[in-house]
Amino acid sequence: MLDTAMSHFADDIARARGLLDHAKQQASGTVKDDIFRASWMMGVGACDAYFSDAYADLVAKAIQAKEIESSIEIPDRLNNLKLPVTAMLRQANGGWRWRMAARELIEEENVLSLGKIQQLFNHFFRKEHKLLNAEAIGSWITHPESKQRVFGITATNYRKLNSSQKGKARKEALDKVKERYETIFQRRHDCIHNCDRPKILPLPISEASVKKSIQDVEFLVNRCHEAIKSEFPIYLTDLGFSAVTKNRVGV
């Protein structure tokens, strides 16, 4: 499950780092800076592509499971999906047909806000485990790869807090997370839509800032990937699908 999405993400984030390495070899100036911008955009694009592919994969597996065990009731969120007719008529095996249908469903959108990620994925999660909420973010703060620039607090300092203080720290950290990723995603938008010139002059860019943006995108995708892989099998089980069906759809 999600193997293709993660494989493509790994390839794409490596391409972003390749551009960063290439930029470092250039003489200072516009060309070097623009390769840095290309690296930033590629990193964010890798994030967008991962979440689009992952969503298509989950929808496809849920519908395929319903096809196998037709008596199971599935939520309106899935029942009411408007899938393209061409996808329904496509001559392909069930899993691939559903995956392509779900991919076409989302291809006109981008998944470049934390709110959009929550909208697409959180209905697959149990309430207390949903992505990007204050209850679940503690394990992200204490993850070995966490960064203070993302959460506003180090793992060491977070662990020193008492229970009440940790609750407050998680809420504040969530605000910092939203702020950090909004900045990363907006910079990509500015590069594409106004050549990184939101006002009069192009914004300055550096090797360090691009490197950090790629690291932070990778952190977000990896943590969400782990959470989705953990929660989606539980989601199918709670709907009533058997272990045999889950195995058949690759969960």
- Distance CA(248)–CA(251), nearest Å, equals 8
| Region 151-162 average pLDDT | 97
Residue 138 has pLDDT above 80, yes or no: yes
Higher pLDDT, 93 or 130: 130
Helices vs strands, H then E, count in the chain: 12, 0
**Domains contained in the chain, number:** 1
Q: Check pLDDT > 90 for residue 99.
A: no
Instruction: Write down the pLDDT at residue 92.
Output: 57
Per residue in 173-223, pLDDT (tens digit) is: 999 999 999 999 999 999 999 999 988 899 999 999 999 999 999 999 999
Cβ atoms of residues 130 and 137 within 8 Å? no
What's the token pair of residue 103?
């991919």
This prediction has a pTM of 0.91
CA distance 25 to 138: 39
* 3-class secondary-structure state, position 242: coil
Q: Which structural domain range is residue 205 located in?
A: 3-248
If one counts every other C-beta atom within 10 angstroms of the C-beta of residue 189, the result is 15
Q: Which two tokens stand for residue 72?
A: 């199971």
Residue-wise pLDDT tens digits, 48-70: 999 999 998 999 899 899 989 99
Q: How far apart are CA 107 and CA 1, in angstroms?
A: 20
d(CA 45, CA 152): 25
Looking at residue 231, what is its pLDDT? 96
